[in-house]
Amino acid sequence: MKRCYKIAALALMVLAMITPLQAEDQGPMPGTADYIIGPGDVLAVSVWNNEALTKPVTVMPDGKIHFPLINEVVAGGKTLSALEKELNQKIAAFVPDPNLSVMVQQVNSMLIYVIGKVNQPGRFVLNADVNVLQALAMAGGLNPFAKSNKIRIFRETSGDTRILPFEYDRVVQGENLEQNIRLRRGDVVVVP
């Protein structure tokens, strides 16, 4: 019965709760001008009036893309506008007034991971803002053996890993809502 209460509370919280976000937890999401390109993303690069230079390119695991005439360019970690500007400058040596544009054709690098005692652990694509409760719902909820108040979020920032606590029972009761943070690319939710 207690587990049914938790599942029902989770469903209500996911549907009805608006999470207060701290400034440090807000990062660019797909579709925004500040989207940061990552490995696996597919970019549509087009040069107006030049079909030979209009093609999709995949960002390789090392963050590089390959493009005709200019070979390798580091795309990973850059915004779309920064990459577009760089490609325009490099291709201008070969094509006068290139009018090049870059768009995200497929987002593949915005991944989070939910592991441990959930019903469907795995990796999930962030194609919208997702908080911890929503990620747990995506993973099928907690299984009966989960230690619901010992959940941790592992977040890597500038080479350092931060561990953020998440007390499921308190959050679904409307307490400690600040723990229900919006997840970022690469976050790992661990349910012991």
Q: Which domains does the chain possess?
A: 2-26+110-191 (3.10.560.10), 42-106 (3.30.1950.10)
pTM assigned to the model:
0.70
Contact 157, 165 (CB under 8 A): no
User: What distances in angstroms separate CA 154 from CA 66, 98, 101, 108, 166, one per listed residue?
Assistant: 32, 43, 35, 20, 11
**Helix (H) or strand (E) run with residue 157 in it:** strand 151-157
Residue 19 pLDDT: 36
SS3 content of the chain, % helix, strand, coil (to 5): 25, 35, 40
Q: What are phi and psi of 158, to 5 degrees?
A: 50, 40
Alpha-carbon gap, residue 137 to 118, rounded angstroms: 9
The encoded tokens of residue 92 equal: 């201008």
Contact 188, 115 (CB under 8 A): yes
Strand pairing partners for 103? Answer: 44
Instruction: Give per-10-residue mean pLDDT for the chain (192 aa).
Output: 48 39 39 78 93 93 94 94 94 89 92 97 91 97 96 94 96 95 96 98
